Amino acid sequence: MRKFATAGFIMLAMVALVLGGNPVQTRASSHREAPNISRDPQADNTDVYAFVSNDRRDSVTLIANFNPLEDPGGGPNYYRFGDDVLYELNIDNDGDAKDDITFQFRFRTEVRNPGTFLYNTGPVRSIDDPNLNIRQFYSVAVLGKGGNDDPVRSGTVIADNLPVAPYYVGPNSYPDGYEQVAMQAVRDIGNGIKVFAGPRDDPFFIDVGGTFDLLKGIRGKDGLSGLNVHTIAIQVPIVGLQGPKDSIIGVHSTTHRRTMSVMRAMGGSKASARVSIKAKEPVVQVSRLGMPLVNEVVMPLALKDAFNSLKTSQDAVLFTSETPAGGLFRKSILDPELARLLHGIMGVDVPAPPRNDIVTIFLTGIPKLNQPASVTPAEELRLNMAIPPSDNPNRMGLLGGDMAGFPNGRRPTDDVTDIELQAVAGATPLTPGFEKNNKLGDGVNGNDKPFKNTFPYLAEPHTYQEK
């Protein structure tokens, strides 16, 4: 059973939903989840999504969000991607916990007129409008299997100088509408691949305050309502992701920075540090995210930053070790603390340990659904690409009878908070007799804005007028 020790991730994650402490510091799925990354929002993964595209069923859409808790009115220096951050979406298509395909995104910022404080010097009607003073562009590269051991992570560039959707400064800055400008950032880069990068409404929804207040303060109020994130989305044909054994992929997102940063007076920096991630210099992984609600509520403070630096291929090694860290996680697997808290605080009858059902759901994938033919346990979001999208999606995913939903991948509409809470309470087919716990939840059943029906699917970002 020790080979499944990574399942301790989920146990501690659920505990933190109940006893998470300061909700400002950990407001939602992987928002400000570790000490170091909380000080580096441009590199901070917030959520990862992977699903078969409902309007293009021969493709999969992968989404990674960054810059947690963006205030729409946060000017004049608005949120943006980091020029000195390497962003990646990683795919394991043979179940060995090693990346087989990695899509890399590198950004650069262009300032047309540094003599003004304005983001835009007049109304913006197109993505290349001369009134748009601060613009970002990016490249897309592909890294193949084995490239993860390359310290500079050199990929093959497949598209360059792609425009990032501008920030939604406000309706006066976009007199013809913001979305008609933002959607010009959706680009077809060939071979059936579409990409988008730019600000979006934060799609995660949860009653943060009530959940953290020992579950007794739940009011059904979305704590992320009115806040934005920066999104990287890519839509790829299924045949381009297919592995040699089956149609199941594991997905996670990572960010990397240079191994050093030397700052100078007057806001300057050493030429070799924090200038451009394109330079051929070694990088270090600073953030990772696959399954929702993991690092920010899984690791004790001493291990959070270490987890962000781990490759998925190192998960099983770490958590099967005889180190104190390994022992800490093994202890939490078969007798999850959250189950005991649900019983003690709310009087919920939960399954007795050992809880092998949690191991199956959250670590190896579910047999005959999204478990690879041969699987190495790892913290990945697993998706069976052979299962078509549902014509009537259920927010409860698999627990609601919808095989196309979480934990088989993750769609923006999936209520992962309620799903994971019910799972740890035993309300799954893997633990018969506890179906009565299928009413547990935080009272927030959907996002504060409707999602789009086409790529990139996430809703337009909020403006300061909506606050």
Measured distance CA(368)–CA(18) in Å, rounded: 32
Dihedral sign, CA of 272, 314, 375, 253? negative
The confidence score (pLDDT) of residue 26 equals 35
The percent of residues in the chain predicted with pLDDT above 90, rounded, is 57
Give 25's pLDDT tier (boundaries 50, 70, 90): very low
* Interval 110-123: pLDDT, tens: 999 999 999 999 99
Q: Do 212 and 23 meet the contact criterion of CB atoms below 8 Å apart? A: yes
Measured distance CA(183)–CA(34) in Å, rounded: 33
pLDDT exceeds cutoff 80 at 166: yes
The confidence score (pLDDT) of residue 323 equals 76
The two three-digit tokens of residue 430, written as one number: 């893997």
From 22-31, 130-139, 271-280, 416-425, the region with the lowest mean pLDDT = 22-31
Measured distance CA(364)–CA(358) in Å, rounded: 10
* Interval 376-386: pLDDT, tens: 988 899 999 99
pLDDT exceeds cutoff 70 at 5: no
SS3 state of residue 248 = strand
Measured distance CA(451)–CA(453) in Å, rounded: 7
- 330-365 b/e (C-beta count within 10 Å ≥ 16 → b): bebbbebbbbebbeeeeebebbeeebbbbbbbbbbb
Mean pLDDT for 421-433 is 91
Give 8's pLDDT tier (boundaries 50, 70, 90): very low
Mean pLDDT for 381-392 is 97
pTM of the full structure: 0.88
63 closest CA partner among 445, 383, 446: 383
Mean pLDDT for 36-51 is 86
| The amino acid at 403 | M
Which residue would you say has higher pLDDT here, 224 or 383?
Answer: 383
Measured distance CA(428)–CA(350) in Å, rounded: 11
The confidence score (pLDDT) of residue 36 equals 64
Dihedral class, residue 421 (left if φ above 0, else alpha if ψ from -120 to 50, else beta):
alpha
The confidence score (pLDDT) of residue 355 equals 82
The confidence score (pLDDT) of residue 273 equals 42
pLDDT exceeds cutoff 60 at 126: yes
Residues 6+ apart with CB under 8 A from 7: 333, 358, 359, 362, 363, 377
Give whole-number Cα distances, 364 to 289, 356, 372, 408, 460, in Å.
16, 11, 8, 12, 35
pLDDT exceeds cutoff 90 at 195: yes
* Interval 313-352: pLDDT, tens: 987 777 677 777 655 565 565 676 777 777 787 788 999 9
Give whole-number Cα distances, 330 to 316, 325, 341, 354, 461, in Å.
11, 9, 18, 12, 41
* Rg, the chain, Cα only: 21
Residues 6+ apart with CB under 8 A from 352: none
Measured distance CA(252)–CA(103) in Å, rounded: 11
SS3 content of the chain, % helix, strand, coil (to 5): 25, 25, 50
Mean pLDDT for 87-99 is 96
Which residue would you say has higher pLDDT here, 340 or 90?
Answer: 90
